[in-house]
């Protein structure tokens, strides 16, 4: 097994390596299917995603105002929890923190960069958290996709039991794993990491220029019509390129692109609904894992008919 | 349309405030329009990102009267494309913060229909509250 990132000390990967995992709020509610499929898929690859004890909200968005330090405290507190996991022996010399949610990833990584690059900010935040041990600035925030890349997509292919043959999926990246550049995990204009994963799983990856165009994010609360129009652009362009479904790693993108298809449909009656997967759900199917981790009940547009038509799941199951 | 603008110390003060909050130097903007051209939400805005950059450069408080920065979704497309390496998303945040810090919220949570509240995931509600309330 190869590890590509070498800037922090890593344990030698054994059969199962334990890595601190930060879930965030939405993976415990409307995106349970993202979490259950990812944990099962990781386990199949010999990785134990170990939930950080006493984790707290990351803040969801990274505070962009230069003078605002207080909103970074929540994120830093989670880094202290990772230190504690090492102190208590829950993990061994493991400074990586893995996230699934793209927004948590962006918030945690942006905060980490700010305090790592600014000793004065870190000191102020540490002073403020006087009941916690100091954050030493050694945590490395990783998105699950980066972890998979470091394992190697060839190893992922070797684990596939049921290749997603003939399934045409358009990877959708959104914003938070791509931008800003210092935070992004891939080329912000032409990302490929999800394509590589889909190909490793045996699926056909469908490219569309809308893969990196914002879905409208939190505007869904006040301006759902704007979000529906953006969703229509993203989904209908993927369909024009031949996609049968979308794959994403962000619970907010998933809501805007999956659930808001109701609004898309009412504005554009000719629009044909299309499933939106968490990419980890596709991993779980390809790895031949138990259907209890798929969680398709939580997908708004039911992906089961599509999967049944490709003989990827049984007709009456799941 | 030609508009005569008289720059006063008040304008400088407002410009400095924007620079301070955003951590950017907005006068570096050369008005190339790349931010506006790539913005996925520009069609819904009353002024474009390059226009709010220009108004900010001149220290004109009328920039706060437009809805545009509230339509911005902080997607950072402008940020990664700006040839002058200005983080335009942070300038939008500075303009929002100037209003929010006067305890003027952009959204009224009570006005969100109950059926919407029931279906919106936390990630949407928490981020909207972080962006639109002070």
Does A189 share its domain with A238? yes
Nearest to B9 by CA among B62, B59, B63, B54: B59
- Which residues in chain A are closer than 8 Å to B71, comparing Cβ atoms? 219, 223, 226
Min CA distance, B23 vs chain A (Å)?
A: 6
Residue A317 lies in a domain: no
- Which residues in chain B are closer than 8 Å to A224, comparing Cβ atoms? 116
pLDDT digits (tens, 9 = 90+) for A34-52: 999 999 999 999 999 999 9
Residues 6+ apart with CB under 8 A from A52: A20, A21, A22, A78, A81, A82, A85, A97
Q: How many domains does chain A have?
A: 2
Percent of chain B with pLDDT over 70: 100
| CA separation for the pair A217, A8 (Å, rounded) | 33
Cβ-based burial of B66 (10 A; exposed 0-12, middle 13-18, buried ≥19): middle
Range of the domain at A70: 17-145
- Residues A210, A216: contact at Cβ < 8 Å? no
- Residues B115, A263: contact at Cβ < 8 Å? no
Domain boundary among A145, A169, A191: A145
Cβ-based burial of A78 (10 A; exposed 0-12, middle 13-18, buried ≥19): buried
Does A32 share its domain with A51? yes
- Residues A49, A79: contact at Cβ < 8 Å? no
Contact: B130, A61; criterion CB under 8 Å: yes
- Residue B110 structure tokens: 């009570």
Residue A7 lies in a domain: no
What 3-state DSSP class applies to A37? helix
Domain boundary among A145, A178, A205: A145
How far from the centroid of its chain's Cα atoms is residue B55's Cα?
11
Min CA distance, B2 vs chain A (Å)?
A: 33
A101 touches chain B (CB under 8 A): yes
| CA separation for the pair A93, B34 (Å, rounded) | 45
B92, B123, B129: which to substitute to probe chain A, counting the most A Cβ within 10 Å?
B123
pLDDT at B2: 84
Contact: B76, A71; criterion CB under 8 Å: no
Q: How many A×B Cβ pairs under 8 Å?
A: 125
What 3-state DSSP class applies to A318? coil
Residue A2 lies in a domain: no
Min CA distance, A230 vs chain B (Å)?
A: 8
pLDDT-based confidence at residue A15 (cuts at 50, 70, 90): low
Task: Please report, for residues A162, A253, B130, the alpha-carbon distance to residue B123 in angstroms, rounded to integers and kept in the order given.
Answer: 33, 10, 11
**Residue the block writes with tokens 């909207």:** B128
* Mean pLDDT of the A205-223 span: 97
| CA separation for the pair B79, B90 (Å, rounded) | 8
- Which residues in chain A are closer than 8 Å to B21, comparing Cβ atoms? 65-67
pLDDT digits (tens, 9 = 90+) for A141-171: 999 999 999 999 999 999 999 999 999 999 9
Nearest to B40 by CA among B73, B70, B88, B86: B73
pLDDT at A268: 98
Q: What is the pTM assigned to this prediction?
A: 0.95
Does A77 share its domain with A36? yes
Contact: A218, B73; criterion CB under 8 Å: yes
pLDDT digits (tens, 9 = 90+) for A241-258: 999 999 999 999 999 999
pLDDT at A316: 65
| CATH number of domain containing A226 | 3.40.50.11810
pLDDT at A44: 97
| CA separation for the pair A97, B5 (Å, rounded) | 52
Computed from CA positions of residues B83, B86, B87, B90, in that sequence, does the dihedral angle turn out positive or negative? negative
Contact: B127, A217; criterion CB under 8 Å: yes
- Which residues in chain B are closer than 8 Å to A218, comparing Cβ atoms? 73, 124, 127-128, 131-132
Task: Please report, for residues A171, A178, B3, B57, B60, the alpha-carbon distance to residue B7 in angstroms, rounded to integers and kept in the order given.
Answer: 49, 39, 12, 11, 9
pLDDT at A318: 44
- Please state, rounded to an integer, the average pLDDT across all residues of chain A: 95
- Residues A302, A280: contact at Cβ < 8 Å? no
- Residue A237 structure tokens: 């362009």
CATH topology of domain B9-102: Fumarate Reductase Iron-sulfur Protein; Chain B, domain 2 (1.10.1060)
B124, B128, B131: which to substitute to probe chain A, counting the most A Cβ within 10 Å?
B124
Helices B49-57 & B88-100 angle (0-180, nearest 10)? 70
* Mean pLDDT of the A220-245 span: 98
Residue A6 lies in a domain: no
Residue A316 lies in a domain: no
- Which residues in chain B are closer than 8 Å to A59, comparing Cβ atoms? 126, 130
pLDDT at A317: 46
pLDDT at B1: 75
Indicate the range of A8-17, A137-146, A189-198 predicted with least confidence: A8-17
pLDDT at A6: 46
Domain boundary among A145, A167, A193: A145
- Residues A202, A160: contact at Cβ < 8 Å? yes
- Residues A41, A289: contact at Cβ < 8 Å? yes
* Mean pLDDT of the A49-56 span: 98
Which ipTM was obtained for this model?
0.96
- Residues B96, B69: contact at Cβ < 8 Å? yes
Residue A282 lies in a domain: yes
Residues of B with CB under 8 A from a CB of A: 20-23, 40-41, 44, 71, 73-77, 79-80, 87, 89-90, 93-94, 97, 106-107, 112, 116, 119-128, 130-132
A110, A190, A217: which to substitute to probe chain B, counting the most B Cβ within 10 Å?
A217
pLDDT digits (tens, 9 = 90+) for A1-14: 444 444 544 444 45
| CATH number of domain containing A117 | 1.20.1050.140
Task: Please report, for residues A169, A174, A246, B58, B60, the alpha-carbon distance to residue B51 in angstroms, rounded to integers and kept in the order given.
Answer: 38, 25, 35, 11, 11
* Mean pLDDT of the B68-84 span: 98
- Which residues in chain A are closer than 8 Å to B76, comparing Cβ atoms? 175, 179-180
Residue A285 pLDDT more than 80? yes
- Residues A90, A48: contact at Cβ < 8 Å? no
Residues 6+ apart with CB under 8 A from A19: A47, A48, A49, A50, A91, A94, A96, A98, A147
pLDDT at A28: 97
The domain spans of chain B are 9-102, 107-134
Residue A11 lies in a domain: no
| CA separation for the pair B86, B46 (Å, rounded) | 22
- Please state, rounded to an integer, the average pLDDT across all residues of chain B: 97
Does A25 share its domain with A120? yes
Residue A5 lies in a domain: no
| CA separation for the pair A204, A243 (Å, rounded) | 9
């Amino acid at each position: 097994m190869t590890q590509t990132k070498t800037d922090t000390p890593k344990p030698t990967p054994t059969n199962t390596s334990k890595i601190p995992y930060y879930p965030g709020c939405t993976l415990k509610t409307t995106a349970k299917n993202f979490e259950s499929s990812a944990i099962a898929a990781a386990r199949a690859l010999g990785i134990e995603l170990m939930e950080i004890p006493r984790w707290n909200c990351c803040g969801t968005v990274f505070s962009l105002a230069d003078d605002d330090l207080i909103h970074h405290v929540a994120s830093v507190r989670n880094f202290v929890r990772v230190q504690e996991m090492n102190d208590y022996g829950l993990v061994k010399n493991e400074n990586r923190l893995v996230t699934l949610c793209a927004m948590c990833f962006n918030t945690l990584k942006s905060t980490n960069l700010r305090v790592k690059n600014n000793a004065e900010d870190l000191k102020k935040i540490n002073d403020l958290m006087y009941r916690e041990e100091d954050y030493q600035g050694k945590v490395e925030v990783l998105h699950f996709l980066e972890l998979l890349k470091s394992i190697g997509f060839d190893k992922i292919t070797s684990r596939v039991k049921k290749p997603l043959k003939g399934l045409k999926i358009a990877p959708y990246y959104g914003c938070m794993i791509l931008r800003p550049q210092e935070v992004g995990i891939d080329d912000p204009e032409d990302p490929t990491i999800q394509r590589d994963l889909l190909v490793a799983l045996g699926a056909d990856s469908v490219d569309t220029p809308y893969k990196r165009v914002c879905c409208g994010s939190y505007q869904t609360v006040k301006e759902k019509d704007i979000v529906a129009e953006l969703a229509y652009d993203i989904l209908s362009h993927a369909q024009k390129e031949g996609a049968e479904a979308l794959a994403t790693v962000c619970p907010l993108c998933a809501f805007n692109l999956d659930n808001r298809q109701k609004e898309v449909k009412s504005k554009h009656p000719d629009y044909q609904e299309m499933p939106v997967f968490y990419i980890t759900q596709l991993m779980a199917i390809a790895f031949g894992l138990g259907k209890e981790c798929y969680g398709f009940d939580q997908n708004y547009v039911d992906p089961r008919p599509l999967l049944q038509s490709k003989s990827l799941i049984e007709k009456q199951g799941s | 349309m030609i508009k005569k603008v008289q720059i006063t110390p008040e304008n400088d003060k407002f410009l400095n405030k924007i620079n301070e909050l955003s951590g950017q130097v907005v006068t570096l903007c050369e008005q190339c329009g790349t931010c506006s051209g790539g913005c996925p939400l520009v069609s819904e805005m009353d002024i474009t990102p390059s226009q709010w950059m220009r108004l900010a450069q001149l220290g004109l408080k009328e920039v706060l009267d437009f809805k545009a920065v509230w339509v911005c979704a902080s997607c950072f497309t402008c940020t990664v494309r700006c040839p002058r390496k200005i983080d335009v998303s942070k300038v939008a945040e500075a303009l929002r913060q100037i209003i929010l810090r006067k305890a003027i919220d952009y959204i009224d949570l009570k006005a969100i229909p109950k059926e919407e509240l029931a279906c919106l995931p936390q990630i949407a509600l928490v981020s909207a509250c972080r962006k639109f309330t002070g």
